[in-house]
Structure 1
Amino acid sequence: MNAVTQADLLRSLPPARRYARALTGGQSAGDALVGAALKAGLPDLPARLALYAGVTRLAPPPAKPPQGAVLPARQRQLLLLTALEELSLDEAAAVLGITTEVAETELEEARTALRSAAATDVLVIEDEPIIAMDVRQLVEACGHRVVGVAATEAQAVRLAETKRPGLILADVNLGAGGDGITAVGRIQEQLKVPVIFVTAYPERLLTAERVEPAFVISKPFEPLALAIATYQAVSSTVPIE
């Protein structure tokens, strides 16, 4: 075990769990991966980087590449570490055990390949009209098709039933219109579809106290973060829970 303190590890667990879920596509698989990494021992890195490295080392490769998948495993990992986990290039290289120069080259290749990833139909759940418009533009810039924008829980359920999207991008707090997590729960009773939650407070969704989403990105987010999240969500290595 790395010589980091237990307090360091506890502080680093939520981002490590988020990263593991993004790699595997589900809560239980991601959390099991973090547990396996802790049992196997961590490399001699700061706590957060050590957990990322341990998870990466044990992450299973896709048994069968999904249709439209164009990114090798390490390039996906680089994108997740830099775009979603917001590591520097040097930190991401340390996690993967490669040089910064190699990481820079592969990251550029990954960004280029991401632009040709398979498109899907997206339902946006967002109650703020201006934010919804911005999100729609970002989703379409990633090459996807927005088939509906819902401002309330009821609208989201109704649109999901009629449009049958391949991906849902949902805000957590819908104000007077309800709760994004509840809306998604109702939708997934009838339609098994990957979901990305967008929130200014991602730590509130990583408490291990309830069923939690596999994909969480923080507000405000960069277009690249949305691009890799949508790609990973629709090409996950395990079925979405």
Structure 2
Amino acid sequence: MSLLARLAPHLPYVRRYARALTGSQQTGDQYVRVALEALAAGEQTLPEQLSPRVALYHVFHAIWGTSGAQLEDRNPDQESGGAPADRLMRIAPRSRQAFLLTALEGFTPSEAAQILDTGYPDVERLIAQAQADIDAELATDVLIIEDEPVIAADIEALVRELGHNVIDIAATRTEALEAIAKKQPGLVLADIQLADGSSGIDAVKDILGMINVPVIFITAFPERLLTGERPEPTFLITKPFQPETVKAAIGQALFFHPGRQKIAA
């Protein structure tokens, strides 16, 4: 199989990554082009021990790492997508790489370590640092829709630990709608099965009909959302949940959602 045939399926994704990393579609594409030219000229080779996708990102980083620091003096262009791109460029480059590789591109920390030519513990540290920077940047008001008091308290503690403000804890669909009538949240964390037999799915549907807000479902019944019969949620966490999973989902949901608002100081 030719080099182009091996890499072609992955090129749109490495272009997406390069755009997010550099804050510019033009600059990102330029670095991807240079990486491909280096491969074609034999100046770079795909590591045989890596999958083609991981190997392509590894080569991209070998090229970007030689002069990528120069990009930090540039302002993100208007193509970059606005607020998320601006926030990304305020994260230290190495942490930004680890965060984007795992959160945006879906690589495991082990794969990210191979791409960045570093160790697993270093990638975990970089991701944690990026997450901390994002959490500080994205503080917002949160509505929790959960009918189990102990679980609701656990989620509330996680949310507050990240620096967010919990505006209400709703146990029913009606309470959820009453809560947003008082104050609009910047994030909703919702269970599916609620106290009075009402549905968190319906509550979220009502809320999204009124405001544009990121939603994370935390439920013991994920199969009710993964039916393939309607659009499925981007962020779905299964109970019992790991605290770090919830924290990571909150950061990603807020970071990549367009138009979300930071709480007033």
Bin for the TM-score computed over the shorter chain: 0.5 to 0.7
User: Secondary structure at the residue paired with 2:144?
Assistant: strand
Distance 2:221 2:80 in 1: 30
Aligned partner of 2:187 in structure 1 is 167
Aligned residues: CA RMSD? 3.5
Q: Distance in 2 between matches of 1:107 and 1:131?
A: 26
Note the 1:88-237 alignment, pairs <5 A. Answer: 89-93=109-113, 97-101=115-119, 103-236=123-256
Q: What is residue 100 of structure 2 aligned with on the other side?
A: 77
Higher relative contact order (CA 8 A, sep 6+): 1
**Secondary structure, counterpart of 1:185 in structure 2:** helix
Q: Structure 1: which amino acid aligns with 2:141?
A: D
- Alpha-carbon distance, 1:79 to partner: 5.3
Go from structure 1 to structure 2 and tell me whether the alpha carbon gap of 1:181 and 1:113 turns closer, same or farther (over 3 Å shift): same
Residues of 2 paired with 1:89 and 1:153: CA distance?
A: 38
Q: 1:206 to 1:98 in 2, by over 3 A?
A: farther
Q: CA deviation at 1:139?
A: 0.6
- CA shift, 1:217, in A, is 2.0
User: Which shows bigger deviation, 69-78 or 193-202?
Assistant: 69-78
Distance of 2:244 and 2:80 partners within structure 1: 23
CA offsets 1:182-217 (integer angstroms, 9 cap, x no match)? 100011111121111112343542332112222222
TM-score (norm 2): 0.57
Structure with higher Rg: it is 2
- Report % sequence identity: 40
Moved more, 121-130 or 63-72: 63-72
Change (3 A) 1:117 1:228: farther
Structure 1 residues 75 and 192: alpha-carbon distance in aligned structure 2, compared to 1, 3 A threshold: same
* Structure 1: 5+ residue stretches without partners: 2-23, 25-43, 54-60
CA displacement at 1:100 relative to structure 2: 4.4
The Cα of 1:161 is off from its aligned counterpart by 1.7
Q: Deviations over 1:109-130 (max 9, x none)?
A: 3244245232100000001111
Corresponding residue number in structure 2 for 1:20: none
User: Alpha carbons of 1:62 and 1:75: their partners in 2 closer, same or farther (altered >3 Å)?
Assistant: farther
Amino acid at match of 1:77: L
Measured after TM superposition, the shift of residue 157 of structure 1 is 1.0
Partner amino acid for 1:169? Answer: L
Q: Counterpart amino acid of 1:76?
A: F
C-alpha contact 2:188 2:215 (8 A) present in aligned 1: yes
Aligned mate of 2:83, from 65, 78, 87: 65
**Structure-2 separation of matches of 1:162 and 1:105:** 39
Unpaired runs of at least 5, structure 2: 2-19, 21-49, 58-78, 261-265
Aligned pair count reads: 183
Q: Which residue of 2 aligns with 1:10?
A: none
Q: Deviations over 1:12-67 (max 9, x none)?
A: xxxxxxxxxxxx9xxxxxxxxxxxxxxxxxxx759xx98xx9xxxxxxx9522347
In 2, are the aligned partners of 1:127 and 1:177 still within 8 Å (CA)? no
TM-score, reference length from structure 1: 0.62
